[in-house]
Amino acid sequence: MSRLFGIKRKSGTMQKLHVRALNLRFLDFVVLFLTVSITAFCTVKIYSKNESDLQIVITGKKGIWVYPINQTVQTDIPGPLGLTTVTLKDGKARVISSPCANQTCITSGPVQRKGQWAACLPNAVFVRVESADAKHGEHKELDAVAW
């Protein structure tokens, strides 16, 4: 077993053996280059943020409101408890007022990236960011819950 680690015992002393240099061939470099290139491409593709194809979808008891993410709007969404006010500004959407008791939707902060959401559950208002090509209610991508 000591030979596996490059160590040779000789009369009670430890002596390191010379480690052989790796003999990499041309195709080894090609495979290494392709692996690094594919990993970099996938990382950029997954984590790149393209704001032009994102939209804010607000769902309430009385309908669905859809706005481009770069639009500036303040809208009132009716719910069972009253009106929930949602504002869109600078590529962010946030709930600024709601008639619910706990106000968790207001303190949750703005949503701006694809997949983020905020909800006022007592008033049945749901704000989410999704791609512009997605059909409402139909998700093309898998997430941790659906998978």
pLDDT by residue (tens digit) across 51-68?
A: 567 899 999 988 999 999
Q: What is the rounded CA–CA span in Å between residue 56 and residue 111?
A: 9
The domain ranges of the chain are 7-47, 51-131
User: Is pLDDT above 90 for 49?
Assistant: no
Q: What is the rounded CA–CA span in Å between residue 103 and residue 110?
A: 14
* DSSP class of 76: E
Please give the model's pTM, rounded to 2 decimal places: 0.59
pLDDT of the residue at 83: 93
- For the ranges 10-14, 90-94, 133-137, 140-144, the maximum mean pLDDT occurs at 90-94
Instruction: Give the mean pLDDT of 78-92.
Output: 93
pLDDT of the residue at 137: 52
Residue that the structure tokens 């049945």 belong to: 124
b/e string for 15-32 if b means 16 or more Cβ within 10 A?
eeeeeeeeeeeeeeeeee
User: Is pLDDT above 70 for 10?
Assistant: no
pLDDT of the residue at 1: 47
pLDDT of the residue at 98: 92
* DSSP class of 64: E
pLDDT, averaged across the chain: 81
Please state which architecture CATH assigns to domain 51-131. Answer: Sandwich (2.60)
- Could you tell me the sign of the dihedral formed by the alpha carbons of 35, 38, 40, 46, in that order? negative
User: Is pLDDT above 80 for 19?
Assistant: no
